[in-house]
Structure 1
């Protein structure tokens, strides 16, 4: 049985090392090479891959060489106002519902992922560069694409201050449709489109949008940096009345933007509650998660900058001046789910007298004894358990694993500048940026090797100040009186990202606290997954409890 290789996947009946023994050195070099060539006439052209190879494979122990085929991808940057530096992507997908460039990080599960390839470009001026073996996910070569109709698109990420690939200023081509399996393919892309500059959404009577320059972050990054938020006002508020209300700071899940408040306005259950005359009035502030390294986690990080200080000394005072916020500790509360669950928990623990309560839903793990399924202190490898099993990173609520930590890190490595997962702006990259220390270039020092999963014990130990379980135990005598009764948690017993164990550790430790007792409330929801608690828990229960606490001051 033979498979002709145009752009679709080779089928090897012989293991690769043994197979290479049947090939000449020239054939091996052609098989392993994937080159990108820049040529510069009036426009910049990139030859993403020039492949001259053909194979047939026969069931058994032989591999025979057939006639060569040529596949090339040309990319032009016709309207650049200067030489460009960034990361260049070519994305393939069979999903026709949206542009391929928007599907890059949809799923780390290899069978569900949209294949993409990436490479750094610097001062795009005609130099020749070469793809590295880790420059594609979930496949390493376009020759491994399955047959059929694919949508394909090129993207150049040049935005240095926002990690989202759909950030202002990034270049992209119009999508094309190709048929794989019908012979040689020659593709050409013009990066003729550009993501428009940021514009704040239009204010409504209840919902306002804010963007201010941060002096602290601008100094840290040596360029203009901005903080963003949206503010939901109570319907009873009348401008000029002098009234002020308790404030709930809402922190999004990973990389969630301040504009998510617009979706809440379409939630009929929430709006019915919010507009009801009997609802206790409050202000909700929706914080922005974006930073150059992905989600900032609203923390003061050695890598991603002083976001907590910027919020406390710049954004929050500005909001209190502009909106009817009762800006005193007993009227400040914080909530969120997933990333937002960890941030709300961390802000309350690290600054116990600044907030009067944290409502933490499905938080990232507060204990590095259970960094998902990895014990950073005792395990040798993040990808493989002591029993030799691949560690999953996600599961369905019935327990079926969806993809592994290794899969997720591989995806992030292709996304990240320099081919490094710590620069991906995605989950594992963001954790390294928040908890880690900078290398000589200012990027996070990886806590484990992205190819092997081997944990660096020195780096893991340097993360200890961010281990909230340890922090609480070591500092309870100092902060316990300010923290008691202020922590509430919700967690599904079948959290999809294995976050249950870490919160169990924190619960055990808090239950041991004395003088005073922690009085933390833990709500464990059987058969619930990640953040799947509904509007009632996420907003209505939180706002009602917050009103009681604020009134008790």
Structure 2
């Protein structure tokens, strides 16, 4: 899709939105104004109990399956979403174009915000219900989220989702009601392997070289207050013998998105790779003679999670202690099961894109555990360029100096075509879930990098509708700004400048599809300002988009490069990895620090009620402290009676009240009431103390 929507058109679309938070009672009010209404009922017995969830309503051109293409850059579909609460069998949800476009409980659509904007014509329509489950987490926060069940957390139509039949409709353009009926659900996959803890991660049938392991994580289960599992796919080298414990192997941890049961390395599902790997002999192109395949184990984690198809492999306030679950629970478990070399020099992290960020973050936070990373086109390493958003010094994530910020591009013969902007992607995500629950990329970053909001969900760094950036929320991202983190711990007790030197290898194309080269360039600029050129290894290839192996190497050449690193850094190798750079003193991303800084109690601590100070006949009121993005109105109360109309105030503002008259003014009482509203939050009014002038 070539972007044809200019800034004025996009701004006009945004102007349609109203973000007033209305009461939950409005859910039961049927639409009254003329327009397009969609009524969706539930078959008897389909829901065992009432549930919260997100309805996704898709309009595809007539005759097309709405799920055939749901990508923001290419889909012909129209997307609409609505939250439902206490939805149950024989209930009816009403989606209407006249609902005021309230993001929390109204209908939000993409590319047209309102159902009333659906153009007349013929469509195939289908609806899906993403079912949420309530979780009371150990830090006291309460959220309703979808817990995946071995399906990798898709944004729509995951296991257990309710579905309506595909229905052909003709939209007239006038007042019209469409009736749909949830009469089935997406079946849960029946796993044929050794399944434990039913419907948590899944386990798969083992083959000769590919094994599957899953464990219950004590750390995650404690945080989420329910059984939580992490797993791994293990690709064993040719000739591996389980009972030969004297022959031990280094491990490549290959990071990627949800791995399912197909492989431990993304090429391991191909017939040619599998045949060569199993045979132990490379006879591929560009080889002059047969040579042995590398002898190491490849492991891919399975860590689908609430909010996304993987956890980003670190400890975060919204996902929970996934870093500890993987590194301190799963890795030791795998070391005990397989003939690994359990030393940092024998552990390499590798991966691209999301897996690229995970691979480098794992080494940066855990240099005591992993020896090196081979990272390619990673998610943003320096938030001065979060994709193409200048996150620290611009007021809006969607526009920079009046120009739409791009998000996805193609570059052909040096000509760049913008396929999607950050605004388009964020608005598209918003149809699939509010409060960062779309299970899509931008929301995943809010959940990984952000703190918890007072409502328990991620404290979003910008307004999903308008793009306004909240600097206070952005501050919570900084421990996950890897550039900022490394240089901030360069020569302190962690000593990362010396510890990480020569252990980081990064590749990115200069025409990266998602502008990820910008974050790599800023990371290089920052670390080299401290450590000089060569502190880490950087490769840029002109014209190269997102994709491919590290340095775009042929697969077996790449694996031999990893094998050489193992041999060079082993004891007795050319450049052994010393104990002095693998000390636990350099470890970071501790769970206790993460949750204390950004969890529920931190959210409570940063709140403050309005407060009054008296200066004889002048009262000065602070509006208190609220989460970023909360819209505030204030009203004075004098002698127990409200005065005038409420008025808009801003965070940090001081509101004066001058006492008029002379008679008995010192006996009068004063109080300031401040009401906050924000999408995803319950309306709240806070009162100051009562004072006398």
Contact kept in structure 2, 1:299 and 1:307, CA below 8 Å: yes
Structure (1 or 2) with the greater helix fraction: 1
Larger Rg: 2
1:84 to 51, 59, 63: 51
How many aligned positions are there? 489
CA distance in 2 between counterparts of 1:492 and 1:325 reads 34
Q: Can you list the C-alpha shifts for 1:217-237, whole angstroms capped at 9, x where unaligned?
A: 111111111112211111221
SS in 1 for 2:204: coil
SS in 2 for 1:433: helix
CA distance in 2 between counterparts of 1:96 and 1:211 reads 42
Q: State the match for 1:509 in structure 2.
A: 526
CA distance in 1 between counterparts of 2:397 and 2:75 reads 23
CA distance in 2 between counterparts of 1:291 and 1:427 reads 13
1:460 Cα deviation from its structure 2 partner = 1.4
Q: Can you list the C-alpha shifts for 1:473-531, whole angstroms capped at 9, x where unaligned?
A: 222221233312111111011001111111111122333444x9754211111111112
CA gap of 1:249–1:425, structure 2 versus 1, over 3 A, is same
SS in 2 for 1:52: coil
2:526 is the alignment partner of 1:523: no
CA distance in 1 between counterparts of 2:427 and 2:49 reads 32
CA gap of 1:120–1:279, structure 2 versus 1, over 3 A, is same
Q: State the match for 2:147 in structure 1.
A: 161
Q: State the match for 2:39 in structure 1.
A: 73
CA gap of 1:152–1:448, structure 2 versus 1, over 3 A, is same
| More moved, 476-485 vs 336-345 | 476-485
1:94 Cα deviation from its structure 2 partner = 3.4
CA distance in 1 between counterparts of 2:178 and 2:443 reads 35
Q: State the match for 1:301 in structure 2.
A: 316
2:426 is the alignment partner of 1:409: yes
SS in 1 for 2:323: helix
CA distance in 2 between counterparts of 1:95 and 1:367 reads 44
2:227 to 218, 224, 228: 224
Structure (1 or 2) with the greater strand fraction: 2
Which runs of structure 2 are paired with 1:475-494 in the superposition (5 Å)?
475-477=489-491, 478-494=495-511
Unpaired runs of at least 5, structure 2: 1-10, 17-24, 133-145, 192-202, 282-291, 571-693
CA distance in 2 between counterparts of 1:517 and 1:493 reads 19
CA distance in 2 between counterparts of 1:75 and 1:103 reads 25
Q: Can you list the C-alpha shifts for 1:411-442, whole angstroms capped at 9, x where unaligned?
A: 122211xx33x222211111111111101232
SS in 2 for 1:287: strand
CA distance in 2 between counterparts of 1:363 and 1:356 reads 18
Tell me the TM-score normalized by structure 1: 0.80
| More moved, 479-488 vs 224-233 | 479-488
1:50 Cα deviation from its structure 2 partner = 7.9
CA gap of 1:217–1:178, structure 2 versus 1, over 3 A, is same
Which runs of structure 2 are paired with 1:161-310 in the superposition (5 Å)?
161-162=147-148, 163-164=153-154, 165-180=156-171, 186-197=178-189, 199=191, 200-242=203-245, 243-253=247-257, 257=260, 259=262, 261=264, 264-268=267-271, 270-271=273-274, 273-274=276-277, 275-277=279-281, 278-294=292-308, 295-310=310-325
Q: Can you list the C-alpha shifts for 1:381-408, whole angstroms capped at 9, x where unaligned?
A: 111102x101111111231101111111
Q: State the match for 2:143 in structure 1.
A: none
CA gap of 1:301–1:262, structure 2 versus 1, over 3 A, is closer
1:112 to 64, 72, 75: 75
Contact kept in structure 1, 2:265 and 2:298, CA below 8 Å: no
CA gap of 1:112–1:329, structure 2 versus 1, over 3 A, is same
Which runs of structure 2 are paired with 1:12-91 in the superposition (5 Å)?
52-53=34-35, 72-79=38-45, 80-91=47-58
2:457 is the alignment partner of 1:443: yes
